[in-house]
Amino acid sequence: MWVAASGNRAGWYNLTGSAIFVVSVICRMIDPLVCAGFPLGTHFLWHIFNALMLAVLLAATTRFGAEGKAVGSRYSVPYCLLPKP
């Protein structure tokens, strides 16, 4: 919640991804309980929601990631390629 409130543009994507993951885990947890009445179960929903969560987080990375830099890096090229002092 703090990430979105702090003005970080990717914050809402992170919150959405977290909410989707919670739904995913709930589907996984109720799967053994549901299987008796619903033979297909809910395990497939676990995979679908996890894929959706990854898609949301990848969208945030592609839209708001630093261009030409690794996320969290202060260098525009990999550290190992920088000239040695």
pLDDT tens, residue by residue, 63-74: 887 655 555 555
Q: What is the pTM of this model?
A: 0.69
Extract the tokens encoding 18.
């977290």
Extract the tokens encoding 2.
């703090």
Q: Under a CB-based contact definition with an 8 Å cutoff, are residues 13 and 59 in contact? A: yes
Indicate the domain borders of the chain: 24-65
pLDDT tens digit sequence for 25-51:
999 999 999 988 988 889 999 999 999
The whole-number pLDDT of residue 56 equals 94
Helix or strand or coil: residue 70?
coil
- pLDDT-based confidence at residue 8 (cuts at 50, 70, 90): confident
Taking the CB of residue 25, how many other CB atoms lie within 10 A of it? Answer: 13
What end-to-end distance do the CA atoms of the chain give, in Å? 42
